[in-house]
A and B are shown apart, each in its own frame.
Chain A
Amino acid sequence: MKRSKLVSLLLAGSMLLGLAACGGGSTTTPAPAESKAAEPAQSQAAEPAADTEITLWTYPIGNWGVEAEVNKLMDQFKADTGITVKVEYLAYADGDDKVNAALSAKSAPDLIMEGPERLVANWGAAGHMVDLSDMIDDTDKKEINAACLTACTTADGKVYEYPVVMTAHCMAINKQAFEAADALQYVDLENHTWTTENFIKAVEALSVKFDDVGAVYCKGQGGDQGTRALVNNLYGGTFTNAEHTAYTWDDPLNIKALEQLKSMKGINFDASLAGGDEIAKFYQGALQMAFCWNIAQQLNPNAANTGAEKTVTGDDIVFMSFPSENGESKLQGGIWGFGIFDNGDQAKIDAAKTFIKYFADSEHTVDAVKTANYFAARSAAEGTDLSGIWADNEIMNEYNKLMPYLGDYYQVTKGWAQARTEWWTMLQEVGKGADVGTVVAQYAGNANAAAK
């Protein structure tokens, strides 16, 4: 009997400890008194304790989603600063859920790497992020791409994301398929541009040889920047107004574009594919063009490590801007950088700021940018020139031709998460054959209701 009681007590004790451990949270080193002082108004991070441990959650932004690559950066960072960084890798499919669950459980990471649509418009607007404006001095303002900095800044001047890299999202075509269909004549391979008229002709030609040419994927929000850019550019429609206060995708130009796409043989409105699935189908040769593409895909299609600019069968992949009436499209920008969650621990916030300073504004920014496989969001960092860091990379240099087409970064419009849901749900309805004008008005109306 005594033994059984002892065992029960031990079991109960261990469970209680387990529960306590599950509680996680804020059992951290108390902040040193001096670190709670006012932040210095310059481009410097406060000095954190060298043995501080912080957590970074990162989305798969190029090789920032590859553990082996990130470990190299973190090891170097620890050697230089003494700060340990525990990294968790998020997927786009459920990364937001994990962060939102962590926020609701008050166990958010110290650092997060993603774009302004999440860090500024969502978590920042909800009061979870630390204002980083004290890290940006006049020199930084000159060096950081103005559009990037604007996207990372709220209307009242708070900076919730320190930008590191940027790119322009584009589309891609299978060169051999276009050759086989005699459709290369419709493409300006030199400038990577084409007109709407030529796009329509190319799809017509391809649809003779292939059942499936392209997919307006709409299973979910993954990669929806591609379908938005496709629809907006075809006839010059917009997604939001210039002030980013309302969704304008119900304009007649977008309706015309959707009707055009719906009527095209070979273009499927496919509710079984999201952006990532579409990339895979294009890579496998099942589709002849992909609307979800960017430089990271061009360098490593489908993240399959089977060679840059090649499909699985060895066909050449050519990146293209989206078709527009005059051939000059407005490409959807991608901006990625670091933000700090306000977990109430000043020591960790200081350590996180040191991390950001190290990777976003120092000589080490080169490594951070190269790991991301995108372009630097600034021209120089503390004296290190970043404008030519891809000079040795032919593909990156070629991709630079698209950067002048970078369009408005409208993802910071209020109600963005809801608007994305409305967008892909609307595309599903269009795919089912619903009246385009009616469903566009209905779902844009829903998005605007969320923007108020």
Chain B
Amino acid sequence: MAKQPKQTMSRALQRREDIAGYLFMLPSLIFFLGFVIIPMFMCIGMSFTDANLNAKTATTFVGLTNFINLWQDAVFLDALKNTFLLVVVTVPAVTLFSLWVSSAIYKMKMPVLSTFRCIFYLPVVTGSVAVTVVWKWIFDNYTGILNTALKGMGLIEKNINWLGTDGIAIWCIILIMFTTYVGQPIVLYVSALGNVDQGLVEAAQVDGATDLQVFWKIKWPQIMPTTLYIVVITTINTFQCFALIQLLTEGGSGTNTVMFYIYRMAFKLTEQGGHFGYANAMGVVLAIFIAILSAIQFKLGEEK
């Protein structure tokens, strides 16, 4: 008999805590629902319509027409190819470089380590517009420092139009993405490597393991969750690359990406019938690609 009130009290307390917890989550949940979940479903729904800006025409359901048209749209296919090139080059480059730098600096004394972390993290905290403007000056066809330096060294005779030439511009974009993306992975890797169990490392060394063996057998498995996070986040960011393209090339010179084409289709080519629906279909396709690639990365990470 004496136990019953105690249980009731406990359940009431639990309920109160639950309610408080949910209320704390509510603001974020509202934003998440309002700005992520609902727009996501709106995007999916609209991708099956010919929605556009024209107030005179009614939106009609067109089924899979937008998705079928995508695969016959040369601009979209070109944008898709460019997007995959960015991902295929940038993600491994960022991951490997940041791992290499972190391995080299994580054992350094704190002031030196902090200095390195600041240097590599600087492009991350600097606004992307500011970074892009600086790179635009560097790559400028007429007065850019890169052309001036190369000409000064006698390496080129005529200026190279870095951002205006097919086959070059996309690599300039990749270079800029690389410099802006490595900061966070380096900080994460430094932290992950610092948390590797030193007991295991020392035991392996006592047993005669080489540096490579120590890294591959001891450190690599322990930093795998960090690697997985870095790979997935870099992949998503690269797929969604927009500001660089918008500010540097406007999608020209072979740098059009799916994300930029979505923006153009939605907000520039507004006279085109069903442009909102078509842009949303592209968004859905992009999301599917990101989801598939992320799932593969998670699977590979799991197996490791």
Question: Do the two chains bind?
Answer: yes
Question: Of A126, A271, A418, which one neighbours B165 at CB under 8 angstroms?
Answer: A271
B30–A19 contact, CB under 8 A?
A: yes
Stretch from B20-28, B177-185, B196-204 that touches the partner: B20-28
B157 to chain A minimum Cβ distance, whole angstroms, is 10
A4 to chain B minimum Cβ distance, whole angstroms, is 5
A211–B19 contact, CB under 8 A?
A: no
Q: Which residues of B contact A240 (CB under 8 A)?
A: none
Q: A126-B53, A219-B250 are in contact. Are A287 and B270 (CB under 8 A)?
A: no
A272→B169 CA distance, assembly (Å): 9
A395 at the interface (CB under 8 A from B): no
A128–B55 contact, CB under 8 A?
A: yes
Interface centre among A103, A128, A272, A421 (most CB of B within 10 A): A272
B242 at the interface (CB under 8 A from A): no
A421–B268 contact, CB under 8 A?
A: yes
A16 at the interface (CB under 8 A from B): yes
A11 at the interface (CB under 8 A from B): yes
A416 at the interface (CB under 8 A from B): yes
A127–B249 contact, CB under 8 A?
A: no
Question: How many residues of chain B have a CB within 8 Å of chain A?
Answer: 43
B267–A418 contact, CB under 8 A?
A: no
B216 at the interface (CB under 8 A from A): no
B251 to chain A minimum Cβ distance, whole angstroms, is 8
B20–A5 contact, CB under 8 A?
A: yes
A331→B53 CA distance, assembly (Å): 32
Question: Of B16, B30, B264, which one neighbours A1 at CB under 8 angstroms?
Answer: B16
B151 to chain A minimum Cβ distance, whole angstroms, is 11
A287→B140 CA distance, assembly (Å): 13
A371 at the interface (CB under 8 A from B): no
A272→B20 CA distance, assembly (Å): 56
A50→B296 CA distance, assembly (Å): 63
A96–B267 contact, CB under 8 A?
A: yes
A271–B252 contact, CB under 8 A?
A: yes
A9→B270 CA distance, assembly (Å): 42
A384 to chain B minimum Cβ distance, whole angstroms, is 37
- Per-position contact with B for A406-434: 1 when CB-CB < 8 Å, else 0? 00000000111110010011001001100
Q: Which residues of A contact B34 (CB under 8 A)?
A: 19
B253–A272 contact, CB under 8 A?
A: yes
Q: Which residue of A lies closest to B163 (CB)?
A: A272
A8–B31 contact, CB under 8 A?
A: no
Q: Which residues of B contact A208 (CB under 8 A)?
A: none
- Per-position contact with B for A329-362: 1 when CB-CB < 8 Å, else 0? 0000000000000000000000000000000000
- Interface size range of chain A in the complex: 35 or more
A1–B53 contact, CB under 8 A?
A: no
B161–A12 contact, CB under 8 A?
A: no
Question: Of A100, A220, A270, A421, which one neighbours B141 at CB under 8 angstroms?
Answer: A270
B211 at the interface (CB under 8 A from A): no
A272–B270 contact, CB under 8 A?
A: no
Q: Which residues of A contact B268 (CB under 8 A)?
A: 96-97, 100, 417, 421
Question: Of A1, A19, A273, A414, which one neighbours B271 at CB under 8 angstroms?
Answer: A414
A281 at the interface (CB under 8 A from B): yes
B53–A97 contact, CB under 8 A?
A: no
Q: Which residues of B contact A27 (CB under 8 A)?
A: none
Question: Of A8, A128, A211, A272, which one neighbours B158 at CB under 8 angstroms?
Answer: A211
B270–A12 contact, CB under 8 A?
A: no
Enumerate B131-172 residues with CB–CB distance to A below 8 Å.
139-143, 158-159, 161-166, 169
B156 to chain A minimum Cβ distance, whole angstroms, is 12
Question: Of A4, A103, A212, A218, which one neighbours B142 at CB under 8 angstroms?
Answer: A212
Q: Which residues of B contact A91 (CB under 8 A)?
A: none
A15–B53 contact, CB under 8 A?
A: no
B26–A127 contact, CB under 8 A?
A: no
Q: Which residues of A contact B158 (CB under 8 A)?
A: 211
A selection of 6 A-B contacts at a CB cut-off of 8 Å is: A4-B20, A8-B23, A11-B24, A127-B55, A418-B271, A418-B272
Instruction: Give residues in A with beta carbon < 8 Å to B.
Output: 1, 4-5, 8-9, 11-12, 14-16, 19, 96-97, 100-101, 103-104, 122, 125-128, 211-212, 218-220, 268, 270-274, 281, 284, 286-287, 414-418, 421, 424-425, 428, 431-432, 450
Q: A126-B270, A284-B143, A287-B142 are in contact. List 8 more A-B contacts (CB 8 A).
A: A11-B27, A12-B23, A15-B30, A19-B30, A127-B56, A211-B158, A286-B142, A450-B271
Instruction: Give residues in B with beta carbon < 8 Å to A.
Output: 16-17, 19-20, 23-24, 26-27, 30-31, 34, 53-56, 139-143, 158-159, 161-166, 169, 249-250, 252-253, 263-264, 266-272, 276
State the 6 A-B residue pairs at the shortest beta-carbon distance, nearest first: A8-B23, A272-B164, A127-B55, A271-B164, A286-B142, A15-B27
